[in-house]
Structure 1
Amino acid sequence: MLEKQRQQLILDILDESTFASVRELCDQLNASEATIRRDLNKLASIKKIRKIRGGAQVLESKTVANFKLSGSAFLVDKERNANTKRMIAKAAVEMCDDGESIIINGGSSTFMMAEFLVERRMSILTNSFVLAQELLENSQNQVTLPGGEVYRKQSIILSSFENDTTQNYHGSKMFMGSPGISEVGVMETDPLLILAEQKLRKRADKLIVLADSTKIGIKGSLLFCALSEVDTVITDSNANPKFLDSFRAKGINVIVVDACE
């Protein structure tokens, strides 16, 4: 991750939680303590933050409340289990045919699909502006974006209105990631995300969930959909077999790729 990106993420984290310890920032940004302390010193020197014992706090919040979403930043998630996510994304694209119309929800796992979509010729609706940019610059796929507000931290476009471009689109498959999937169902982190994603789900025949092994068996407080709405789960070989068997018992197609170190 570039220094500028990491420092912007530090500001985003502090803007949401007011205070963060050095250890918390290290964990969230997958960076060393020396790197985080160097970033904090630089941000403090230009009066972006206030350093305090053990961490830092924001000077003042400039983020409009309506523009906040719960959940991890895209740039942070993108670095976690990246090689395994890449193999999951490859398996997802292998499910697609040229000429097909599909929907790809924003997220770090689904973003990895871009590499394998480069040689395809498909119609793709996505609310991920980073995925859309990647496909527009490097492929001949037809790309459609929904209308709505841009959420920079998650790199997605969301609309709370029912009447937007998604209502005129139909896809054979919808691909999405999730912070957790268990016997309860597919979880999400924010009500606005659920609202936007459920609109996309209505426009697709099948739902394919991309979830590395760290997401399998994880429950949360917000439910996107029940397992009965899921057609396929793509995960890796480190996933708990008990949960994968329970998915299969409910008629879900489970694809397992080799986990990468």
Structure 2
Amino acid sequence: MLEKQRHQLLLEILEEQQFASVADLTAQLNSSEATIRRDLIKLSKEGRLEKIRGGAQRIGNRPAGAPKTHLAGSAFLVNKDKMTTAKQAIAAKAVSLCEEGELVIVNGGSSTFMMGEYLTQRDVSVLTNSYYLAQYLCENGQNQVTVPSGEIYRKQGIILSPFENDSIQNYRCRLMFTGTAGIGEFGVMETDSLIVRAEQKLRRQSEKLVVLADGSKLGQKSNFVIYPLTEVDILITDDTADPRVIEQIEAAGVEVITVELEALAA
């Protein structure tokens, strides 16, 4: 991650939390303590945050009733570099489900972003709220790409519309692909109510829901249940996933496709 990107994310974390410790920033930004301390010193000198013992805090308070400008959850640029081998294998399997010439919906996220490499090799049109995926497809392929109108949330790299009536309602497709903060017996989970609302709006335009989740996501819980398992058609995961959680998901009628990472490495 570039220094400029890391600084932007650091400031957005302070915007959400008002205060963050060095340890917290190190974990959220997947950086070393030395790097974070250098960042805090530099941003403090620039007057963009207040450096205090053990961490930093936002300068000033957000006015009461001010509109929400950030989404809860980890940053795309951090997540993108985690579990990359599993995500790539899962993404390749996901794209293999697409038919030539069809339109698919791809929800924003680090797992679904990995589909871009394989989508550029296919004659598939894409409707996506992922700023990063749309950019990748436009720069590297010939896919027809459509994005909804709305505001860009930089931390997650997604486009969300505050309006119910937008361009999304004019599209209809067979498959929608989405990542998740966690999936298990309670269903598919997410971190922010705005993400839930936006994704459910996309879901209404598709016939089947395909969830991409590496093994670390199975059994994980988050703030919001976006879909019960009965609304999931296919889950694509890897062979590091807990077999007990897979059994729970299959018992709900979900088709589980497991990619074998060891075989892929061999």
Q: Which of 175-184 and 73-82 deviates more?
A: 73-82
Matched, 1:160 2:162: yes
* Separation of aligned partners in 1, 2:19 and 2:44: 14
SS at match of 1:89: helix
Superposed CA offset, 1:146-168 (max 9, x none): 11222111111112322111111
How do 1:1-261 residues align onto structure 2 when only pairs under 5 Å count? 1-60=1-60, 65-259=67-261
Superposed CA offset, 1:167-192 (max 9, x none): 11011100001101111111111121
Cα offset for 1:82?
Answer: 2.1
* Separation of aligned partners in 2, 1:40 and 1:221: 30
Determine what percentage of the aligned residue pairs are the same residue: 55
Superposed CA offset, 1:121-149 (max 9, x none): 11110011111111111111111111122
Q: Which amino acid aligns with 1:150?
A: I
Cα offset for 1:28?
Answer: 0.9
* Separation of aligned partners in 2, 1:116 and 1:37: 39
* Separation of aligned partners in 2, 1:61 and 1:209: 38
* Separation of aligned partners in 2, 1:162 and 1:37: 43
* Separation of aligned partners in 1, 2:45 and 2:69: 27
Give yes or no for contact 1:25–1:36 (8 Å, CA) kept in 2: yes
Cα offset for 1:259?
Answer: 4.3
Cα offset for 1:27?
Answer: 0.8
Give the TM-score taking structure 2 as reference length. Answer: 0.93
* Separation of aligned partners in 1, 2:49 and 2:195: 29
Q: Which of 72-81 and 7-16 deviates more?
A: 72-81
Superposed CA offset, 1:206-247 (max 9, x none): 100011112101223311111111011111111110011122
Cα offset for 1:61?
Answer: 5.2
Q: Which amino acid aligns with 2:254?
A: I
Structure 1 runs of 4+ off > 6 angstroms? none
Superposed CA offset, 1:91-135 (max 9, x none): 111111221110000111111111111111111100111111111
- Structure 1 unaligned spans of 5+: none
Cα offset for 1:251?
Answer: 2.0
* Separation of aligned partners in 2, 1:34 and 1:162: 45
Q: Which amino acid aligns with 2:160?
A: L
Give the TM-score taking structure 1 as reference length. Answer: 0.95
Q: Which of 87-96 and 201-210 deviates more?
A: 87-96
SS at match of 1:254: strand
Aligned length: 261
SS at match of 1:65: coil
Give yes or no for contact 2:192–2:223 (8 Å, CA) kept in 1: no
* Separation of aligned partners in 1, 2:185 and 2:246: 10
Cα offset for 1:65?
Answer: 3.3
Q: Which of 57-66 and 146-155 deviates more?
A: 57-66
Give yes or no for contact 1:160–1:195 (8 Å, CA) kept in 2: no
